[in-house]
Amino acid sequence: MFLWLLGDCFLVSGRVWIFTLSGLTLTGLSNPHFADFEILEREKLNNSQFRFKIRIYEEYTGEGRVGYFDETLTVIKRERNKHLIDSVERGEYTNL
């Protein structure tokens, strides 16, 4: 499960997204959409901050992966099991 906290946009199990803005909720797939992801690097910055470099793959329905981009997420641990994405840096898109 991957949960994207910025802008109330959620990706669950790499398949379904939900976006909510001012009472309007959109649910479903669009093309291209996130297919899956992998964690490329993990770095502990201090006791409450972590940095992850992830690769997010996109696909078209029925066609498989079409490309990917890398993101660097800085995550802050707020409580025992609660984390906040503090910053996101997106790299260039690569077509496959």
Q: How many domains does the chain have?
A: 1
Look at residue 55 and tell me if it is in a domain. yes
The predicted pLDDT at position 24 comes to 59
Q: What is the pLDDT along the chain (96 residues), one digit of tens a residue?
A: 344 444 444 444 444 555 555 565 555 667 888 899 999 999 999 999 999 999 999 998 888 899 999 999 999 998 888 889 999 999 999 999
Look at residue 1 and tell me if it is in a domain. no
The predicted pLDDT at position 3 comes to 43
pTM: predicted TM-score of the whole model, two decimal places: 0.66
Mean pLDDT of the chain: 79
Q: Which of 92, 56, 88, 50 is nearest to 72 (CA)?
A: 88
The predicted pLDDT at position 29 comes to 64
CATH number of the domain encompassing residue 76 = 3.10.450
Q: Let me know: does 57 contact 33? Beta carbons within 8 Å.
A: no
